Structure 1
Amino acid sequence: MNKNIQFTHKVSREDDGKMLKQVLRNKYRFSKRMMSQLKLNRLVTVNGEVVYFTSRVKEGDEIEISFMEEESEQIRPQPVPFDIVEEDDDLIVIDKPPGLVVHPTRGYPEGTLANGLIHYWKKRGEKRKVRPVTRLDRDTSGLMVVAKHAYAHAFLADQMAKKRYERMYYAVVHGQVPEEKGTIDRAILPPDQAGIRSLTSEEGYPARTHFAVIWRFADATLLRLHLETGRTHQIRVHLSSIGHPIIGDTLYGSEDDQQLIGRQALHAAHLRLFHPRFREWREWKSPLPPDIRQLLEKLKPWE
């Protein structure tokens, strides 16, 4: 059966004499909504007893917070292959293969990563909602994080909003990028009816992508990219805007790359986040997948 997620905290000298609700807010940054749920459902104890949130705590008191078991989403469990890089009580880090949609949509109602996660958890007798912290396009491979409960998701989403995270990608693009490194800082508009996003110099969603050249080929370049923002299609539309679309990207590039690779050559290779429980940085890496390595072998060397 699913066990309740629990957090424990021993009251420090600095918090001696403070109200319980102050300690909870300072330590965990709970939202007002989450504080109300914890209070209403009597999910916080001090030294094993439920107390008022206005009660004063003293140094050495042990505070325990429990999160109730969640009802699973109405997503059909299906065995979907994906690799788990790391998993703990709060999050699961996945190395997503290309061709896998993260969550059911009208066009992809089944066979998604979410279907696979629900199936994986159900086999272990666990009920969870799928809460992606980072997302990847269907044909982008690599690392992504899914939170396993509401607090972890809220904490990590807040960290990302404050830009307390690092994401690094590799992309193989058309043409030789002349600069050794640079930054694309252009806002992105919402998608049109065809799902295509474009850039704007006026109103739009701010987006910033840093790039550095790793290797140049005769008619292509291998780039390393770091994101400051995480807009949908950000890397793809930014690189296309400077005249170097990603090889295999039929939406923002050419439809004539199928002989080279069957999807956009974009891979999320490195991820670094501040952990919601341990309050320390954790990082993960993923090597280039076989199809991108094969693409690099096909490209002509720079003479």
Structure 2
Amino acid sequence: MSRKTYRSDDVCFLLRPDDVMAGIETVGAWLDAKHMARSVMKTLFQEKLVLLNGKKTNPKESVELNDELRLQMPKEKIDHDPVPMELVILYEDEDLLILDKPVGITVNSKGQVSLANGVAQYFKDNGIKRKVRFLNRLDRDTSGCIVIAKSALAQSFYQQQIEDQRFEKWYATVVQGVLLDTNIVDLPMKRGEDGIHYEVREDGKPTRTVYNGTGVFEEVEGVQLGDASGNQPSDVTDGQFGDVVATSYREVSADELATMTEADKAKLVSTVDIRLYTGKTHQIRVAMAHLGHPLVGDALYGNERAGRTYELRARRVVFTSLRTGQIVTVSAD
């Protein structure tokens, strides 16, 4: 049912001169121009939550310059058990919550505490009466930008950007061997017969991965590589043995590479920036392994020892705001 009061999460649009010049004459055409999903809008119309100048409206109603269109969001019940959890918030507005997901926690798993439970607690504490809707997924051992939509309207709006490849998802990782070029990798992928691995198969779903090698490094013997950025050495804990080890590595110059044997090059590692155009499970790990450059520490797709953690970070997302139409960049550096 329609609300008599307005809330901060209401979505409001003002019909501007450029909208009129574009030929927008009805509420329905206005909503289409704003990329509002018709399936979601049908529900809002049925619940009388779409208002034109403060009065309930319908898709066929005419609009004029300076008209105000208001979309009210229905209340929902939180669909996960709230669990107190420390969350690192990178960005938040009326429609999105973007967190820096840590390594070692799943996004949404049945039967165990996951990030969804922490988001549910945050929603409860802040009076956000919404379901938890993830727009992207990260594996347990992948960190960085995880995006949550606060409403069905926001979910459909940004999901369309993802499907149209206008919602940019950037990652940073470290791979085995020398990888310094830039390339587009189109591969069909499908879950393997063991139900765990994903494989490159002709009958798989299409994927697109774009990578850019940013540097080649030599790991100092007996230490671990600290992060995917290749910037600062640091102290990290080896999760398998519990030993504190110093992370240190040295960038290898082009002149040095030119004099190295292939065997020596195989011992090096490369930092790589990656953009995902599709979002299949294990896509980056499968693509890099297929190219002969598995992620450092990836025991599933490489030849690493079990128990070592690979380096993969969702470093940046770029999207167009639902409300303002402006480009927004959120980074987890």
Give the structure-2-normalised TM-score.
0.77
Change beyond 3 A, Cα 1:71–1:217? same
Which protein shows a greater Rg? 2
Which aligned runs of 4 or more in structure 1 are off by greater than 6 angstroms?
Answer: none
Amino acid at match of 2:116: A
Change beyond 3 A, Cα 1:42–1:149? same
Q: CA deviation at 1:60?
A: 2.0
Amino acid at match of 2:9: I
Between 14-23 and 32-41, the greater mean CA deviation after superposition: 14-23
Change beyond 3 A, Cα 1:276–1:248? same
Whether contact under 8 Å (2:75, 2:129) holds in the other structure is: yes
- Is 1:92 matched up with 2:97? yes
Per-residue deviation, residues 99-122 of structure 1 (Å, max 9, x unmatched): 1100123xxx22211000001111
Q: Which residue of 2 aligns with 1:272?
A: 318
Match of 1:172 among 160, 171, 174: 174
Change beyond 3 A, Cα 1:81–1:191? farther
Q: Which residue of 1 aligns with 2:293?
A: 244
How many angstroms apart in 2 are the aligned matches of 1:21 and 1:142?
38
Whether contact under 8 Å (1:4, 1:66) holds in the other structure is: no
Change beyond 3 A, Cα 1:186–1:18? same
User: Equivalent residue of 1:104, what SS?
Assistant: coil
Amino acid at match of 2:274: L
Amino acid at match of 2:132: V
Higher relative contact order (CA 8 A, sep 6+): 2
Paired residues for 1:174-189 under 5 Å: 174-177=176-179, 179-189=180-190
Aligned length: 276
Change beyond 3 A, Cα 1:52–1:189? closer
Q: Which residue of 1 aligns with 2:165?
A: 163
Q: CA deviation at 1:22?
A: 2.4
Amino acid at match of 1:32: R
| Unaligned runs of at least 5 residues, structure 1 | 288-303
Q: Which residue of 1 aligns with 2:113?
A: 111
Change beyond 3 A, Cα 1:250–1:284? same
Change beyond 3 A, Cα 1:183–1:57? closer
Percent of aligned pairs with the same amino acid? 31
- Is 1:45 matched up with 2:45? no
Q: CA deviation at 1:215?
A: 1.9
Q: CA RMSD in A?
A: 2.1
Per-residue deviation, residues 91-148 of structure 1 (Å, max 9, x unmatched): 011111111100123xxx2221100000111122332211111211110011121111
- Is 1:34 matched up with 2:40? yes
Q: Which residue of 2 aligns with 1:211?
A: 211
Whether contact under 8 Å (1:209, 1:227) holds in the other structure is: yes
- Is 1:101 matched up with 2:106? yes
User: Equivalent residue of 1:268, what SS?
Assistant: strand
How many angstroms apart in 2 are the aligned matches of 1:72 and 1:231?
27
How many angstroms apart in 2 are the aligned matches of 1:148 and 1:157?
13
- Is 1:11 matched up with 2:57? no
Whether contact under 8 Å (2:37, 2:157) holds in the other structure is: no
Amino acid at match of 2:324: F
How many angstroms apart in 2 are the aligned matches of 1:51 and 1:10?
15
| Unaligned runs of at least 5 residues, structure 2 | 1-5, 219-266
Paired residues for 1:34-73 under 5 Å: 34-73=40-79
Give the structure-1-normalised TM-score.
0.84
How many angstroms apart in 1 are the aligned matches of 2:70 and 2:295?
49
How many angstroms apart in 1 are the aligned matches of 2:24 and 2:300?
59
